[in-house]
Structure 1
Amino acid sequence: MQHANALNRLNRLPIARFHKLTLLAVAFAYFFEFADINSFATTSPKLIKLWGVTVNQVAYVTSLSFVGMFLGSIVASTIADRWGRKRALLLTTVWFGFFSFAAVFSWDIVSLGVFRVLTSAGLSAMTVVAVIYVNELYPAASRGKYQAYAIVIGICGTPVTNLIASAVVGINDWTWRLVYLWGALGVLLVLFTRQLKESPRWYESRGEHDKADAVLREIEAQVAAEKGPLPEPAPPVQEAPAGKAPLRMLLQKKYLFPTLLLTVVWVTQTIGFFGYSTWAPTLLAKEGFSVEKSVFYVALTTVGAPLGSYLAALVTDRFERKWCLVAFGVVIAVCGLFYGLTFDPILIVVFGFLVNLFERGYTALGYAYSPELFDTRGRSLGTGVSYGLGRLSNAAGPLIVAALYNGSGYQSVFFFIAGTWTVGAVVLAIFGPRTRQATLKPATAPKAAEV
C-alpha cells in the first residue's frame, strides 16, 4: 500500500450514520466543555458573599485559567500529532472532567483556582483536538456545516448549565458545588470509544498508509451498506510522511502568516467574548442586582447560543467563511456595546441574547476556518498555537476588565470589549484568505492544490 488516498476517499462519501455518530460524540464533548467553561463565572457571585472573595481575586483566578488554556492548547497539538486524534479527544475530555469533579471539594479560593486552571487546560486541549478531528473526517463541501452542527448541540451546555446554576447556587452555602459536579459528567465520552474512528488523515501524515486504508475500508463499508455503491475517488495527491512538527516550523513563511492571523482572530474572540461572559454575572451583582437575578438574566441571554451555532451551520458552506466572520464580529461589537449602556432588565436580556447568538456563530465559523489555513503537517501545531495564544491573551483580559471597572466604571468595560471585536473584524477583512469549500491540504501539497 503506497497511498491510502484518504483525502479523496473521505471527500466523496455521502453523509451517513458514521458521520452522525461521530457528530454526536464530538457534540457531547462540546456540551460539557461549554457547560464547564463558565462554571466559575456562575458561582463567583456566591463565593463573593460566602468566602469574601474580591473582584481582583475573581480576576486572578480567571486570568490563571486562561494560562491553563494556553498550556492545554500547546500540549493538545503534541498529543494529537503523537497519539492520534481519537485518543487525544478522549484523554483531554477525561482530564477536564476529572478536575471539574475535584473542584467540588474546593475549600477556599486558592484550591478552587488550582482546580480551575487544570480544568481549563483540559477544556482548551479538547477543543483544539475536536476541531482538527471534525475537519479531517468530514467531506470538504460540508465539514463547516457539521462543525457548526456539533456546536449547535454542544453549546446547549451553556444555557443548561446557567439555568441549573441559577436554580441551585442560591439554595444554601454548599449547593454551588453542584455546578462543578455537573461539568464533570464530560468523562462519559468514554462511552463513545467504540463508535469513534481514528483519523485516516493522521495515519497518512505518519506514512502509515496500511492503517489509514484499514480505517477507510471500515468507514466505506458502513457507508456503502447504508447508502449503496460509492463513486470512485479522485486520484491521490502524492505526499511524504509529515514527521514531527517542531515549534520552530511555524516560523516558515507558509505557516507564519496563518498562525499570526489566527492568533489575532482568537485573541480578539477570547478577550471579547470571555470579557463579556465571565464578568456579566459578577458586574451585574456589583451594580445592585441580586446574585439570583444576575445569574438568571445571564442564563436567559445564553439561550441565543445554540441558535447562533445553527445560524453558522446555515451560512458556513454557502458563503465565504472569512466574510461571515467579519460580519458576525461587527454585530457582536455593536450589541455588546448596547448591552453595557443599559440597566433595563429587558434590554440586558435582548442585547445579551444577540451577543451570545452571534458570538457562538462566530466561534463555529472560526473552528471551521482555522484548520483550513494549514496543511496536514502544520494543522495540529498551527491551530493549537494560535488558539492557545488567544486563550493566553485573556490572562491579561480579566485584569484589564477589573482595572477598567474599578477605575472608570461599568460601561468602560463594554467599550473595551466592543473595541476588541472591531479590531478582529478589520484584520480579517484586510488579511484573511478565502477558504470556502477548500480541500484540506496534504503535508506536501503542490502549489496547484487548493488552500
Structure 2
Amino acid sequence: MNTANSINRINRLPVTRYHKTMIALIAVAYFFEFADINTFAATAPEIRRVWGLSVPEIGYITSIAFVGMFLGSLVGGWLADRWGRKSALLSTTVWFSVFSLLTAAAWDFTSMAVLRFLTSAGLSAMTVIAVIYVNEVFPARVRGRYLAYAMVIGICGTPVTTFVASLVVPWSDSSWRLVYLWGSLGAVLVFGFKVLVESPTWLESKGRVAQADSVLQRMEHRVSASGAILDDAAAPEEEIRRSANTPIKTLLHKRYLAPLLVLSVLWITQTVGFFGYSSWAPTLLADQGFLVEKSIFYVALTTVGAPLGSLLAAFITDTFERKWLLVVFGVVIGVCGLLYGLTFNPVMIVVFGFLVNMFERGYTSFAYAYSPELFDTRTRSLGTGISYGIGRLSNAVGPLVIAAIYGSSGYSSVFVFIACTWFFGAVVLALFGRRTRVRSTEPVEPIAKEPKP
C-alpha cells in the first residue's frame, strides 16, 4: 500500500459524537492552559505587595515566562513531529500541570521566575500540538468552527481563574498560592486522552501507512456506528511526502518562508498586543489608585467577553476568509484597547476591556485555525511551532518595553503602544497574508514536491 489517503478520508467524514468527544478533551486542555497562563497576572499585584517587588521585577518574571513559551513552542513542534501528536499532547499537558503545582511553593523572585519559565514552556508546547492535532483529525470544512468551539470552553479558564483569584487572594498573605493549585488541575486529562487517536496524516508522513490505515478504519467504524453514511473518499492527488525529520532549512524555501514570516508577525503582534494588555492591566490599575481587589475584579469582569469572542468566531470562521477576519478583528481590538487606556471611569474600563477580550479571543481562534493551514504535513509542526514561538519570545521584551513606557510616559501611553501593535499586524496580514478558505474546486491540502536547493 503506497498511501492511506488520510487527508481525503478524513475530510469526507461527517461530524459525529466521536469528533465531539475529541474536541471536548481538547477544550478541557485549553481551559486549564488559559487558567494557568493567567495565574501570574491575577496574583502579581498581591505577590508584589507581599514580597516587596518592583514593577520592573514583575516585568522580568513575565518576560522569562515568554522565553519559556518560545522554547516550549519549538520543542512542542519537534515532539509532535518525532513522537506523534497524541503522545506529545499528553506529555506537555502533564508537564505544565506539574510545574504549576510546584509554583504554589515559590518562595522568592528567583524561584517564581524559574517555575513560571518551566510552566510556560509546557503551556506553549501543548497549544502548538493541539492546533496541529485538530487540523489533522477534523474535516477541513469544519475544523475552524470546532477549534473555535474548543476555545469557547477553553477561554472560560481566564474569567474563572480571575474570579477565583479575586475571591481567594484577599484571604491572607499566602492565599495567592491556591490560584496555582487551581491551575495545575489539567493533569486530570491523563485519564481522558486514551480516547484520542494518533493523527493518521502524521503516521502516513512517517511511512507508517498500515498504522495510518488502521486508525482511519477505526475512525470510520466509529462514525458508521453512529448511523452516519460515509461517501467514497476522493482519490489522492499525490502521496504525502515521507520524511523522518524536517530540517529547519526547508522553511527557507519560498513556498514556506513567506507564510512563516507573516505568521511570525501575526503572533508577535497578538502576543505583545494581548498579553501586554492582560498581564499588565491589574498591576497598572492598582498603581493608578484602585485597590488590588478592585483592580482584579474589574479585569475579571472584562474577561467575560473572552468566551463570547470564540463563540462569535465559531459562527463565522468557516464562512468567510480567515485572513480578512483577522484583519478586521485586529483593527477593532486596537481601537477598543486605545479607548480602554484613555478612561479612568470604572464602567468604561469594564466595557472597553470586555470588547478587547471578546474580539481578541475571536482573533486567536481564527489564528489557531489559520496557522497550520499555511503548511503541508511535513512542515506543519515546524512552521507552526517556530512562528508561534517567535511570537511568544517577543513578549520577553514586550513587558520591559511596557514598563519603560509606563515609567517615562504614563498609563495611557502603554495602551497607545498596544493599539499600534494591533494596527501593524492588521496591515501586514492585509498586504501579505495568504487566503486559506477551502472551496469545492480547490484541493484541501496541496502537497508540494521537494523544493530544489
Contact 2:336 2:355 in 1 (8 A): yes
- Cα distance, 1:422 vs. partner? 0.2
What per-residue deviation string (whole Å, max 9, x for no partner) do you get for residues 65-86 of structure 1? 1000000000011100000000
Contact 2:14 2:228 in 1 (8 A): no
> AA paired with 1:301?
T
**Aligned residue number for residue 202 of structure 1:** 202
Deviations 1:322-347 (A, max 9, x none): 00000000000000000000000000
Within-5 A mapping of 1:46-85: 46-85=46-85
The residue that corresponds to 1:151 in the other structure is 151
Give the secondary structure class of the aligned counterpart of 1:125.
Answer: helix
For residues 225-261 of structure 1, the C-alpha deviation after alignment (integer angstroms, 9 at most, x for no partner) is 1033311000013223133111122111111111001
Q: Match of 1:244, SS?
A: coil
Task: Deviation per CA, 1:94-143: give whole Å up to 9, x if none.
Answer: 00000000001011121011100000000000000001000101111111
Aligned residue identity for 2:445: K
In the alignment, the residues of structure 1 paired with residue 368 and residue 21 of structure 2 have an alpha-carbon distance, to the nearest angstrom, of: 19
SS at match of 1:278: helix
Question: What is the aligned partner in structure 2 of residue 100 from structure 1?
Answer: 100
Question: What is the CA deviation profile of residues 244-299 of structure 1, one whole-angstrom value per residue up to 9, with x for unaligned ones?
Answer: 11112211111111100100000000000001000000000010000000000000
The aligned amino acid for 2:357 is N
* Cα shift at 1:48: 1.5
Measure the CA separation in 2 of the matches of 1:298 and 1:445. 49
Question: 2-side partners of 1:228 and 1:44: how far apart?
Answer: 51
Judge conservation of contact 2:31–2:155 (CA < 8 Å) in 1. Answer: yes
Equivalent pair of 1:205/1:443 in contact (CA under 8 Å): no
Question: What is the alpha-carbon distance in structure 1 between the residues aligned to residue 227 and residue 142 of structure 2?
Answer: 17
Q: Aligned letter for 1:362?
A: Y
What RMSD over aligned residues (CA atoms) do the two structures have, in Å?
Answer: 1.2
User: Which position in structure 1 is the counterpart of 2:403?
Assistant: 402
**Cα distance change of structure 1 residues 329 and 408 upon mapping to structure 2, 3 Å threshold:** same
Tell me which residue corresponds to 1:366.
367
**Which runs of at least 4 in structure 1 moved beyond 3 Å after TM superposition?**
442-447
Matches of 1:2 and 1:328, distance apart in 2 = 43
Deviates more, 1:426-435 or 1:438-447: 438-447
Q: Which runs of 5+ in 2 are unaligned?
A: none
Is residue 114 from structure 1 mapped to residue 114 from structure 2 by the alignment? yes
Tell me how far 1:446 sits from its aligned partner: 10
Q: Is the 8 A contact 2:238 2:447 kept in 1?
A: no
Which residue number corresponds to residue 303 of structure 1?
304
| 1:214 Cα deviation after fit | 0.3
- In structure 2, give the amino acid aligned to 1:54: S
Contact 1:375-1:440 within 8 A present in 2 as well: no
**Per-residue deviation, 1:352:** 0.2
What one-letter code is carried by the residue in structure 2 that aligns with 1:327?
V
Please name the residue that 1:331 is paired with: 332
Deviation at 1:91, TM superposition (A): 0.5
Aligned ranges 1:40-439 → 2 under 5 Å: 40-239=40-239, 240-437=241-438
- Distance between the aligned counterparts of 1:136 and 1:373, measured in 2? 13
Once residues 340 and 396 of structure 2 are traced to their aligned partners in structure 1, the CA distance between those partners, rounded to angstroms, is 24
Cα displacement (A) at 1:445:
6.0
Residue 140 of structure 1 aligns with an amino acid whose one-letter code is: A
Deviation of 1:38 after TM superposition, in Å, equals 1.1
Distance 1:199 1:445 in 2: 22
Q: 2: distance between equivalents of 1:138 and 1:437?
A: 14
Distance in 2, matches of 1:345 and 1:374, equals: 44
AA partner of residue 172 (structure 1): S
Tell whether 2:441 aligns with 1:441.
no
Cα separation, 2, equivalents of 1:46 and 1:446:
54
Deviation at 1:216, TM superposition (A): 0.4
Secondary structure of 1:396's counterpart equals: helix
Deviation at 1:369, TM superposition (A): 0.4
* Cα contact 1:156–1:305 (8 A) shared by 2: yes
The one-letter amino acid of 1:425's match is A
Aligned partners of 1:376 and 1:440 also within 8 Å = no
Q: How far apart are the structure 1 equivalents of 2:405 and 2:111?
A: 27
Amino acid corresponding to residue 194 of structure 1 in structure 2: K
| Deviations, residues 139-187 of structure 1 (Å, cap 9, x unaligned) | 1111110110110110000000000000001110111001100000011
Q: How many Å separate the matches in 1 of 2:208 and 2:446? A: 14
1:149–1:313 Cα contact (<8 Å) kept = yes
Deviates further, 223-232 or 25-34: 223-232
Give 1:444 shift.
3.8
TM-score normalised to structure 2 length: 0.97
Provide the rounded CA distance (Å) in 1 between the counterparts of 2:357 and 2:145. 19
Distance 2:58 2:113 in 1: 9
> How big is the shift at 1:193?
2.3
Amino acid at match of 1:130: A
Q: Could you tell me how far apart the structure 1 residues matched to 2:193 and 2:149 are?
A: 20
Q: Call closer, same or farther: CA 1:232–1:446 in 2, change over 3 Å.
A: farther
SS at match of 1:169: helix
Amino acid of the residue matched to residue 364 of structure 1? S
- Using the alignment, how far apart are the partners of 1:219 and 1:89 within structure 2? 19
Preserved CA contact (<8 Å) 2:147 2:365: yes
* Contact 2:84/2:199 (8 A) holds in 1: yes
Q: In structure 2, what residue type is equivalent to 1:17?
A: R
Per-residue deviation, 1:18: 1.3
Offset, 1:205:
0.7
Measured in 2, the distance between the counterparts of 1:442 and 1:399 equals: 42
Over the matched positions of the two proteins, sequence identity in percent amounts to: 63
Structure 2 CA distance for aligned equivalents of residues 444 and 411 of structure 1: 48
CA drift at 1:17: 1.3
1: CA distance between counterparts of 2:172 and 2:152? 33
- In the alignment, the residues of structure 1 paired with residue 423 and residue 229 of structure 2 have an alpha-carbon distance, to the nearest angstrom, of 49
Matched, 1:9 2:9: yes
